[in-house]
Amino acid sequence: MAEYRAYVTDAPGGNVEYRSVQISDENGNVMLKPLLTGICGTDRGIARGALPFAYNPSGYNFLVVGHESMCKVIESKSDYFKPGDIVVPIVRRPGDCPNCLIGRPDNCSDGNKHEAGITGLHGFMREMFMEQDFNLIKIKDKELGDLGVLTEPMKNVVKAFEVIERVSTRSIYQNNLSTMEGKTALIVGTGCEAFLYSFLSVDYGFDTFISNRHPIGQTSLNMCKQFGVNFIDSSKEPDFPQKPLDLLIDTSGDPGTVLRYLRKMNYNGIVILFGTNGKAPSTELTGEDIDHIVERNITIAGSVDAAKIHYMKALDYLSKWNRMHGDIMKTIITAYFSPGETDVFTKKPDGEIKSVIKWQ
Ligand code: NAP
């Protein structure tokens, strides 16, 4: 029976506290200590009891939270990892449906998968834990430093763009030079996921906009400038966009905002729903909205999580952006907290893009 200090909740009731827990049945051939764990919208949703799909592991009356992490290998019985290696553990673990059995638990077809720190599996916000080597991704780029903790949020973005590529093949989605130049993408929200989406959107060649319904801080504005992303404060620019949108990615989970921009979608437009907020106010979808979606062949796709391959590709993008934009890229981590601090689960620090807990 191992005893750790950990951030725990009794899911899905809400509230997160830092205390000692005993975890008896964990097997794995690699012992890990977290270096950094990130706090994301999902962790805050769990902390305020807004995510009814979260649940405790079988046999436990608590769930260790945390699914974004970068860890150091302390001991290893694996041929692939040695003490000192820096790794990222995979969040979602397969059940036995066909998608899970081919390494795509992100596309699980019966819901019998588990997610560390979210659904039925203890997460990574604890002093140490054991893992199986096949659930770990090694960070080989030593220059990446703390940005390695963004691998987990970035892998979601890589997967969603895979979805975009697939659905865009049903017509000619590119321009007549076969690029995305001149195409418009809007990413709703200005959190970490939204920024990562916007960077990849720029890489794909879209004219890229990111929006919120209030101003954003100087760090975020600097990041927009450096990466070539345009910020829209929707409270001041109600007529945006002047041109129809080819790609809409929502990280807010707000139905009213999604619908507002859905009404501005271009022919063959693609909408990715990514953000979740079960407590957001409802809104009305009208017959005219359905006409618009049908007559323009608009695809609306949900996208959740990602597979091991997307973690690996995520590291490549992060390394590239770190090489290109160095100092600015590092400012995406806007605040560091110490183990034991819990306010960050309930209150977003001003100007936050990504808050992390620094364990060592
Ligand atoms: P986050 O930092 O909370 O980002 C959400 C962003 O949406 C914030 O910038 C928030 O602005 C903004 N927002 C909220 N309502 C809005 C509205 N009506 N109009 C415009 N912007 C609005 O969270 P995150 O970590 O980046 O994650 C984004 C979302 O994705 C969360 O809902 C999270 O639960 C979800 N998520 C989904 C997956 C998946 O696999 N699908 C994976 C991870 C996370 P404020 O600054 O005003 O709060």
Q: Where residue 241 sits, what CATH number does that domain have?
A: 3.40.50.720
Atom from ligand 1 closest to the CA of residue 193: 26
How far from 336 is each of 125, 146, 315, 354, 357, CA to CA, in Å? Answer: 14, 11, 21, 9, 6
**Is the CB of 251 inside a 6 Å radius of any atom of ligand 1?**
yes
Q: Whose CA is nearest to atom 11 of ligand 1?
A: 189
* CATH number of the CATH domain containing 29: 3.90.180.10
- Looking at the fold, whether 182 and 118 belong to one and the same domain comes out as no
Please answer whether residues 119 and 53 qualify as being in contact, where contact means their C-beta atoms are separated by less than 8 angstroms: yes
Q: Is residue 61 part of a domain?
A: yes
Element (H, E) at 127: none
Give percent helix, percent strand, percent coil of the chain, each to the nearest 5. Answer: 30, 30, 40
Q: Is residue 274 part of a domain?
A: yes
- Looking at the fold, whether 219 and 93 belong to one and the same domain comes out as no
Q: Whose CA is nearest to atom 29 of ligand 1?
A: 275
Distance 125 CA to ligand 1 centre (A): 21
Among 200, 211, 203, CA closest to 264:
211
- Looking at the fold, whether 139 and 258 belong to one and the same domain comes out as no
For the chain, strand residue ranges (E) read 2-9, 17-23, 30-39, 63-64, 68-76, 86-89, 92-93, 114-116, 120-121, 129-131, 136-138, 184-188, 207-212, 230-233, 245-250, 265-273, 299-302, 333-337, 354-358
**Is the CB of 156 inside a 6 Å radius of any atom of ligand 1?**
yes
**Is the CB of 277 inside a 6 Å radius of any atom of ligand 1?**
yes
Distance 94 CA to ligand 1 centre (A): 26
**Is the CB of 255 inside a 6 Å radius of any atom of ligand 1?**
no
- Looking at the fold, whether 196 and 144 belong to one and the same domain comes out as no
Of 296, 320, 345, which residue sits at a domain end?
Answer: 296
Q: Is residue 186 part of a domain?
A: yes
To the nearest 10°, report the CA torsion of 187, 278, 109, 303: 0
Distance 348 CA to ligand 1 centre (A): 12
**Radius of gyration of the chain, Cα coordinates, nearest whole angstrom:** 20
Atom from ligand 1 closest to the CA of residue 41: 23
How far is residue 164 CA from its own chain's centroid?
16
Distance 251 CA to ligand 1 centre (A): 4
Pocket test of ligand 1: the residue of 37, 39, 40 to mutate, having most ligand atoms within 8 Å of its CB, is 40
Please answer whether residues 73 and 105 qualify as being in contact, where contact means their C-beta atoms are separated by less than 8 angstroms: no
The whole-angstrom separation of Cα 84 and Cα 81 is 9
- Looking at the fold, whether 16 and 144 belong to one and the same domain comes out as yes
**Is the CB of 37 inside a 6 Å radius of any atom of ligand 1?**
no
- Looking at the fold, whether 73 and 18 belong to one and the same domain comes out as yes
**Is the CB of 220 inside a 6 Å radius of any atom of ligand 1?**
no
Q: Is residue 195 part of a domain?
A: yes
* Full domain range(s) for residue 141: 2-149+334-358
Give Cβ neighbours of residue 310 (< 8 Å, ≥ 6 apart). 106, 155, 156, 158, 159, 162
Instruction: State the pLDDT at residue 50.
Output: 85
Q: Whose CA is nearest to atom 40 of ligand 1?
A: 304
User: Per-residue pLDDT tens for 160-216?
Assistant: 999 999 999 999 999 999 999 999 999 999 999 999 999 999 999 999 999 999 999
Instruction: State the pLDDT at residue 300.
Output: 98
Amino acid sitting at position 256: G
Distance 42 CA to ligand 1 centre (A): 9
- Looking at the fold, whether 132 and 178 belong to one and the same domain comes out as no
Q: Is residue 282 part of a domain?
A: yes
Which residues of the chain are modeled with pLDDT < 70?
A: 1
Instruction: State the pLDDT at residue 231.
Output: 98
Distance 249 CA to ligand 1 centre (A): 11
Pocket test of ligand 1: the residue of 68, 156, 212, 254 to mutate, having most ligand atoms within 8 Å of its CB, is 212
Q: Is residue 308 part of a domain?
A: no
The whole-angstrom separation of Cα 245 and Cα 35 is 40
Instruction: State the pLDDT at residue 24.
Output: 83
Among 54, 58, 64, 56, CA closest to 21:
64
Q: Is residue 269 part of a domain?
A: yes
- Number of domains forming the structure of the chain: 2
Give Cβ neighbours of residue 173 (< 8 Å, ≥ 6 apart). 183, 246, 268, 270
What residues are paired with 245 via a beta bridge?
265
Please answer whether residues 9 and 53 qualify as being in contact, where contact means their C-beta atoms are separated by less than 8 angstroms: no
What residues are paired with 198 via a beta bridge?
none
**Is the CB of 355 inside a 6 Å radius of any atom of ligand 1?**
no
- Looking at the fold, whether 210 and 80 belong to one and the same domain comes out as no
Instruction: State the pLDDT at residue 25.
Output: 75
Q: Is residue 350 part of a domain?
A: yes
Pocket test of ligand 1: the residue of 43, 251, 282, 348 to mutate, having most ligand atoms within 8 Å of its CB, is 251
The whole-angstrom separation of Cα 203 and Cα 198 is 9
Give Cβ neighbours of residue 196 (< 8 Å, ≥ 6 apart). 150, 153, 154, 157
- Looking at the fold, whether 201 and 116 belong to one and the same domain comes out as no
- Looking at the fold, whether 10 and 137 belong to one and the same domain comes out as yes
Element (H, E) at 118: none
The whole-angstrom separation of Cα 340 and Cα 285 is 44
- Looking at the fold, whether 31 and 116 belong to one and the same domain comes out as yes
- Looking at the fold, whether 145 and 23 belong to one and the same domain comes out as yes
Instruction: State the pLDDT at residue 1.
Output: 64
Q: Specify the length of the chain in residues.
A: 360
The whole-angstrom separation of Cα 303 and Cα 291 is 24
Give Cβ neighbours of residue 360 (< 8 Å, ≥ 6 apart). 33, 34, 35, 72
